[in-house]
Amino acid sequence: MTSASLQLSADEARRIALRAQGLLGAVDRRAGVRGVLRRLGAVQLDTISVLARSHELLPYARLGAVGRQAVEAAYWPGDHAFEYWSHAACVLPIEEWPLFAFRRRAYRARRSWHHELAPSTYEKVLDQLRAEGPLTATELGGAKNGGPWWDWSDSKIAVERALMHGDVVCTRRRGWKRVYDLAERAIPGELYHDDLDDAECVRRLVAQAGAAMGVATQADLADYHRLSSEQVESVVRDTGLVPVEVAGWGTADGRSGRHRAWADPAALATAPRGRHRTTLLSPFDSLIWDRPRTERIFGFVHRLEAYVPRPKRIYGYFSMPLLSGGKLLGRVDPAREGSTLVARHAAFEGGPARAVKAIPAMAEALAEAARWVNCTEIRVERTTPEELHDALVNEVARVEI
C-alpha cells in the first residue's frame, strides 16, 4: 500500500459495498435471480427456514417478492449453478466450476478423514450413478445408519467425499435432499476441467470477491470464499483490484484512522446513487455474513442465536437485520402462525430518537415480507425499546399488506 492510494470516506465505502451487493441502485429484474447469483458469486445455503430458506431470502432482499419456483429454476438444475464449499455450503454460478479446482485438488490430496471409507464403496457409488442417473443419498443406499443425524451411512459418506473431490456434483434439491450426478455428465464440457493452477484459481476468486464487495480489506477478501490470508496476499496485487484507504476502518496499517483495503475499479468509476432497498436480511446474506466487516461498515453487531439456549437469546432464534436507507436500523425475529406473520421481537438500534425514525421502515419491511409469504396479518409481540411497541403496532396497521 503506497501513499498514493485512493482515500475513501467510511460513507463512500459503505455505499460502494451496498451497490456492489445489489442493494443500492436500479434493480435488474431482467437478469433476475440468476443475475443476483452471478453478481454475488456465492449464495449460502442453510437448513433453517423461518420466512423461507436463506437462499430464497437473498434474492428476495434484492428483487422483492420473487417466487420460490423462480428461485429454484435459477439455482438448479446444474447447467446454471452447482453446490460446493465456498464461504460455506453455497450455490455457485456454473462458470465458477474451474475456479474451485484448487480446493478439489486439496481434498483429493487429504490423507486423514473423520470417517474411514473403503475404496470399493466409493467406486460403487460412482458406478451406481453412472448406471442409474442422478440419485439422492437415500436412493444410493440410505443416508444414515439409524443413529443420530451425523451417523452417516457408508454410501452417504462416499457420495459427499466424491462431491468434495469433484467426481460428483449436486444438480438440484428434492425436498431439500441433494440430488447427485456425475460431474462429467452434469458440468458443461467447456467448463469441466481442472486446467487452472492453484494460484490462478485463487487470483480469480479474489478478483470475484472484490467485485462482489466493491471495497474490502484483505481479511474480507479471504473470508468471502474462505481462503487463507496467505493465499490472498500472494495474488491480490495481480487481480486488478486497486489499493485504497478507508477512513474509520481501523488502524491495521499503522496510520491513524485508515485501513488498508482494495477496491474494484468498476466500483470506483461512478458514484453510487439510486434507490436504497428497505428489507429484512437473512443472517447468511453476503452483505453481512462476515461479522467483523458488518461492524466496520455499519457499526452493527449481529450474532445468529439459533444455536444459543433460549434463555440466553437477546434478540431471538433467527433475528433478521433491518436494512433501510443504506443502514442497519434494527432487527426482527419473525415467525409464521397460519396466515399471520409474527414479529416476536422487533429491536431498534441507537437511542429513542433514532428508533422512532426507524419505525416506518420496520413496518414497511414487515408488510412486504408478509405479502411475500402470503400472510394477511402482522402481530408485534415485543419491541426494544419497550415504549415503542404501540407506535410500531399502529404503523403496521397503516401499511397495506
Per-residue model confidence as pLDDT tens for the chain (401 residues): 444 679 999 999 999 999 999 999 988 888 999 999 999 999 999 999 999 999 999 999 999 999 888 888 888 876 789 999 999 999 999 999 999 999 999 999 998 787 778 889 999 999 999 999 999 999 998 766 554 445 688 899 999 999 999 999 998 888 889 999 999 999 999 999 999 999 999 999 999 999 999 999 999 999 999 999 999 999 999 999 999 999 998 754 444 445 689 999 999 999 999 999 999 999 999 999 999 999 999 999 999 999 999 999 999 999 999 999 999 999 999 999 999 999 999 999 988 889 999 999 999 999 999 999 999 999 999 999 999 999 999 999 999 88
Q: Do 6 and 110 have their domain in common?
A: yes
Domain membership of residue 198 (yes or no) is yes
Closest to 296 in 3D by CA, of 323, 325, 328: 328
Maximum separation of any 2 CA atoms in the chain, in Å:
67
Radius of gyration of the chain (CA): 22
Q: Which pTM does this prediction carry? A: 0.93
Same domain, 216 and 318: no
187 and 45 assigned to the same domain: yes
Question: CA–CA separation, 71 vs 91, rounded Å?
Answer: 11
Residue 353 in domain: yes
pLDDT at 144: 62
Query: What type of residue is 88?
Result: A
Residues 99 and 232 grouped into a single domain: yes
In a domain, 40, yes or no: yes
- Confidence at residue 118, expressed as pLDDT on a 0 to 100 scale: 82
Query: Is residue 179 one of the residues assigned to a domain?
Result: yes
Question: Are residues 129 and 242 located together in one domain of the fold?
Answer: yes
Tell whether 145 is covered by a domain: yes
The β-bridge relationship of strands 340-348 and 383-384 is parallel
CA 99 centroid distance within chain: 18
Domain count, the chain: 2
- Indicate whether 365 belongs to any domain: yes
Same domain for 315 and 233: no
Are the C-beta atoms of 222 and 232 separated by less than 8 Å? yes
Say whether both 34 and 149 belong to one domain: yes
Return the pLDDT at 151.
64
Give the C-alpha distances (Å, rounded to integers) separating 285 from 29, 47, 297: 19, 14, 15
* Residue 150, pLDDT score: 56
Taking the C-alpha atoms of residue 375 and residue 110, their distance in angstroms, rounded to an integer, is 49
Domain-located, residue 292: no
Give the pLDDT score at 117: 85
Q: Cα separation of 322 and 283, whole Å? A: 11
Residue 24 structural domain:
1-274
Decide if 283 is inside a domain. Answer: no
